[in-house]
Chain A
Amino acid sequence: MQGPLIDTLARQGVSRRTFLKYCATLASMMALPPAAGRAMAEAMAAARRPSVIWLPFQECTGCTESFTRSHSPTLEGMIFDMISLDYQETLMAAAGHQAEEARHTAMRDNAGKYLLIVDGSIPLGVDGAYSCIGGRSNVDLLQEAAAGAAAVIAVGTCAAYGGIPKANPNPTGAVSVSDIVKDKPIVNIPGCPPIPVVMTGVLAHYLTFGSLPELDDKGRPKAFFGETIHDRCYRRPFYDQGKFAKTFDDEGARRGWCLFELGCKGPVTYNACATVKWNGGTSWPVESGHGCLGCSEPDFWDAGGFYKALSVPADPLGFTAAAAMVGAGAGVAGGFANRAKKSTAKKTHEPVTLDDLEVPK
C-alpha cells in the first residue's frame, strides 16, 4: 500500500473528480483560496502516504469512533486513505506481540518521518501506573514514540488538554501531550470528540505543503478554531435581540431562540461545529436544541456546569452568609467602640470658657 494516494483511492472506487471535489471543499473549509484546492489535489494525488502511529492512552475511543463512523467515502473518511496507518490498536488486526512488533518496525523504518497521533490523556500519578500497554506506562510509550516523530497530532480534548481524566479531582494525575512532549511540533485537535474533517485538513495541509497549518495560542489550527461557536451560530440574532429559551421545553426553545441562559458555552468555545456540523452536515448540538458544552476548550468539564449560563456564578456562593455575619459583627463592634469613645469624650468634657477661645500659646 505504498503507491501514490490517487491509486489507493481509485482502488476504492473514488474517482479523481470526487477527490478534486473534496479538495475544493476542504480548501474552502480551511479558508484557503480556491486555487489551493487544486494545488492540494495535485500534490496529494501524487503524494506518498506518510506512516502514522496512533497511540491511545486514557481515552474512551470516542475520537476513533468519530473518524471511523462515516460509511461512505466522505471527507472525514478520507483520513484513512491519506495515511499509512501502521499502528492503531482499535483498528488493526494484529494484537499483542504482533502489534508491538508493527509499531517498532514503523518507528524504525520511518524514524524522524512518521506522524504520531495521540488520543487520550497521559496519567502521571503512581509513576504512570494508571494506564499501561504491554506493561509499559503511557508516558513511557509517548516519550519513546515522540522521539522519532516528525510531528505529533493530539486528537481530542484529552490528548490536547487533559480532558475529562484531568477534571477535578484528577485522580490519575492526567496531563496533555504538550505537557510531556516539548521538542516536537504539536497540533491540537480538541473536541469531545473532535470534528473529523479538521484532522483531514491538517493531514492535507501536511501532505500538500509539507508543514503544519497555522496554529492559535492553544496549538489549534486557526482555520477551524479561529472563531467562537457563538459568532458563527445561526441562533446568534436571537442573542442580540435578547430572546432566550428559559427551559428546554418552553416557547423560546420551540422557536429556536438562543440557548445562552440554558448554559450554552458557545461564546467562549472556539470550534467549527456551527459551520461544518456533524454527521455529514446533518446537524450540530445547538441546532438539535442543546447548548454547546465547550468540549474543545481546556478544562471544559470544570467550567461551572453545563447548564449554568456564563454570567452566573460557577459555584454556589459560599461566603456570603458568613461574610454578612462578619460584616455585621465588625459593624456592631465598631459601633460599640465608637459609642464608647464618644461617651468618654462627653464624660470628660470640660465646659468651654472664654479663655479657651484665646489663641493657644
Chain B
Amino acid sequence: MSASLNKVTQTLKEVIDAPIASYFESCVHCGLCAEACLFYTETGDPKYTPIHKVEPLRRVYEQEYTLLGRLMKMVGLSKPITDDELEQWQELVYDSCTMCGRCSLVCPVGNDIVYMIRKFREGMAVSGHVPDGIRSATRRTVEIGGPMGLKWPAVANVLKHAEENTGLTIPVDKEGADYLVLLSSMEIVNYPEYIEALAKVFHKAGISFTLASDAFEATNAGIQIGASDIARVIVSRIVDAAERLKVKYVLSPECGHAYMAIRWEGPNLIGRPYGFKVVHVLELLDQLRQEGLLKMKDTFKDPLILHDPCQIVRRGGVLQAPDALIRQVAENYIPIADQQKWNWCCGGGGGASAIHTEEAEALRARAFGVKKRQIEAAGVGTVVTFCANCRITMEEALDHYEMNTKLIGLTELLAEHLED
C-alpha cells in the first residue's frame, strides 16, 4: 500500500463512527438520493447519485470495522481502495458535490449522506486527491490569511472607504465590544456594500462592535477541502481574537460555509465549547426587527425571489429569519416551491466554486439549470440571497446563460431601505 493510501485508511479509520456504520448498513440502493441531487437531476448521469460518491468510504468501513469484512480482507476476497480509484472519485466528491445536504433530507432510511461526504473528504484531503482550486485557496488561507490572498492593509483600505461613505466609525481591535464582526474575502473584494450596511445597522441599533485585524476572515477552506487539522488552525484565529477582545458575540457574515465553520464545526475542531456565542448576521437583524429597531423608510418594488444558501438555512438552521426579513423590505416577494430547508443549491457550495477546470465549470453551469428554471418560473428579474459564494456562483451562471437577472445581498437590501 502506498504511503498516501495508508494515510487515507488511517484517516478514514479515525473518522468512521457509529452513524456512518449505521448509514451504510441501512442503504438499500433505492436511488432516491439521486432525485434530490442537482448534479443528477440536471445531468441524468447516475454516477452523481450521492451515496455512490462515498463508495470508497463504504469499502474502508466494511474492510476495517465489520467482522465479515475483516475476514474477507484476510482471505483476500475484498477489493481494497486504490489511488486510481480515489483519483477518479475526486470529481464526484468535490466537483459534483456542493455538500448542500439535500440528499440527507430525502433518504428514506435516514442516511445523512452529506455527513459521510464531509468525513470522506478528510481521507481525500490527506492523500492530495483534491482539486487545485480548493488546494490553493486553502494554502492562501493558511499562509496569507484568506482564500483570495487578501491581507489586512487591503481590508483596512476598504474599511476606510466604508467609513467615508457612511460617515460612521468602524472600530478595529476594540476590546469589550459586543460583537466581533467577521467578513468573507468575497464581500471585502466584491460586495463592500455589506460592510457599510452593517455599520449603519449597528449604529442605528446602538450596538458596539469591532473587527479584528488578525481575524477578519470568516471563511474556512479547511472544512471545504475536508482537513480538520487545517480547519482548526483557521478557526482558532477567530476564537483567539474573540477571546482576546472579550466579545460576547461573533457575527458570522453572509457566507454559507463560514457560518458552518465558525458556528457548528468550530467548537468540535478546537475540542471545547466557546466562551462566546456565534450569531449569523440575519439572526441579529431579525432580532432587531422583532425589537422594532429595524424600520424601513420604503420598500423594494421589483418582484423578487429568495435563494436560501444551503449552509446557512438547511444545514445551518437559520430557517425563519430570512423570510421574515425579506417580507419587511420587499413588496413583491414571491415565495417559490422548494424553499427554506428544501432549497436547491446554487451549484457552487462546498468549495466547488473554487474549482476552475473546464469540466467543473461546465458541470456547474448545467447544475444551475434548476435555479434558472426557478427564476424563469417566478418570472422575476431579481434574486436576493445571503451568501457571497452563492452570489458569485450565480453571477457566473447568469452570465453564462446571458440572463438579465439582478442579484442582491439581503443585508445590503435591508440597509438600502433602512430608515435614516
Direct interface between A and B, CB < 8 A: yes
**A interface residues (Cβ-Cβ under 8 A, vs B):** 330, 334, 338, 341-342, 345-346, 348-349, 351-354, 356-360
Q: Report the stretch among B126-134, B318-326, B387-395 that lies at the interface.
A: B126-134
**Complex CA distance for A338 and B4, rounded to whole angstroms:** 22
Contact A357 B135 (CB under 8 A): yes
User: In terms of DSSP, what is the predominant structure of the interface of chain A?
Assistant: helix
B111 in the interface (beta carbon within 8 A)? no
Q: Report B-chain residues with C-beta under 8 Å of the C-beta of A351.
A: 229
B7 in the interface (beta carbon within 8 A)? yes
Contact A357 B229 (CB under 8 A): no
Closest chain-B Cβ to A35's Cβ sits at a distance in Å of: 62
Contact A360 B14 (CB under 8 A): no
Q: Given contacts A330-B67, A338-B65, A341-B64, are A356 and B14 in contact (CB under 8 A)? A: no
- Closest A residue to B13 by beta carbon equals A345
Closest chain-A Cβ to B419's Cβ sits at a distance in Å of: 48
Contact A357 B138 (CB under 8 A): yes
Contact A356 B126 (CB under 8 A): yes
**Complex CA distance for A351 and B16, rounded to whole angstroms:** 18
- Closest A residue to B65 by beta carbon equals A338
Q: Report B-chain residues with C-beta under 8 Å of the C-beta of A357.
A: 125-126, 128, 130, 135, 138-139, 225, 227, 230
Q: Report A-chain residues with C-beta under 8 Å of the C-beta of B78.
A: none
**How many B residues, CB 8 Å from partner?**
30
Supplied contacts A334-B67, A338-B64, A358-B135, 14 more A-B pairs, CB within 8 Å: A342-B13, A345-B10, A348-B10, A351-B229, A352-B125, A352-B227, A352-B228, A354-B142, A356-B127, A357-B130, A357-B135, A357-B138, A357-B227, A360-B2
In chain B, positions 100-150 with a C-beta closer than 8 Å to chain A are 125-130, 135, 138-139, 142-143
Contact A356 B2 (CB under 8 A): no
Q: Report A-chain residues with C-beta under 8 Å of the C-beta of B128.
A: 356-360
Contact of B10 among A334, A349, A354, A359 (CB under 8 A): A349
- Closest B residue to A361 by beta carbon equals B4
**Complex CA distance for A341 and B129, rounded to whole angstroms:** 24
**B interface residues (Cβ-Cβ under 8 A, vs A):** 2-4, 7, 10-11, 13-14, 16, 64-67, 83, 125-130, 135, 138-139, 142-143, 225, 227-230
- Closest A residue to B122 by beta carbon equals A352
Closest chain-B Cβ to A237's Cβ sits at a distance in Å of: 40
- Closest B residue to A344 by beta carbon equals B13
Q: Report B-chain residues with C-beta under 8 Å of the C-beta of A353.
A: 229-230
**Complex CA distance for A341 and B61, rounded to whole angstroms:** 12
Q: Given contacts A338-B65, A345-B14, are A356 and B138 in contact (CB under 8 A)? A: no
**Complex CA distance for A353 and B127, rounded to whole angstroms:** 11
Contact A342 B126 (CB under 8 A): no
Looking at A334, A338, A357, A358, which has the most chain B CB atoms within 10 Å of its CB? A357
- Closest A residue to B86 by beta carbon equals A360
Q: Report A-chain residues with C-beta under 8 Å of the C-beta of B143.
A: 354
**Complex CA distance for A342 and B14, rounded to whole angstroms:** 5
Contact B2 A341 (CB under 8 A): no
Closest chain-B Cβ to A334's Cβ sits at a distance in Å of: 5
Contact A360 B139 (CB under 8 A): no
Q: Report A-chain residues with C-beta under 8 Å of the C-beta of B127.
A: 356, 360
Contact B139 A354 (CB under 8 A): yes
**Complex CA distance for A348 and B13, rounded to whole angstroms:** 11
- Closest B residue to A359 by beta carbon equals B128
**Complex CA distance for A352 and B225, rounded to whole angstroms:** 12
Contact A356 B125 (CB under 8 A): yes
**Complex CA distance for A338 and B10, rounded to whole angstroms:** 13
- Closest A residue to B139 by beta carbon equals A354
**Complex CA distance for A354 and B139, rounded to whole angstroms:** 6
**Complex CA distance for A357 and B142, rounded to whole angstroms:** 12
Q: Report A-chain residues with C-beta under 8 Å of the C-beta of B227.
A: 352, 356-357
Contact A360 B130 (CB under 8 A): no
Contact A354 B67 (CB under 8 A): no
Contact B7 A356 (CB under 8 A): yes
**Complex CA distance for A358 and B138, rounded to whole angstroms:** 11
Q: Report B-chain residues with C-beta under 8 Å of the C-beta of A360.
A: 2-4, 83, 127-129
Q: Enumerate 26 A-B pairs (CB-CB under 8 Å) in ascending A order.
A: A330-B67, A334-B67, A338-B64, A338-B65, A341-B13, A341-B65, A342-B13, A349-B10, A349-B14, A351-B229, A352-B11, A352-B229, A353-B230, A354-B138, A354-B142, A356-B7, A356-B127, A356-B128, A357-B125, A357-B126, A357-B128, A357-B135, A357-B225, A357-B230, A358-B135, A360-B2
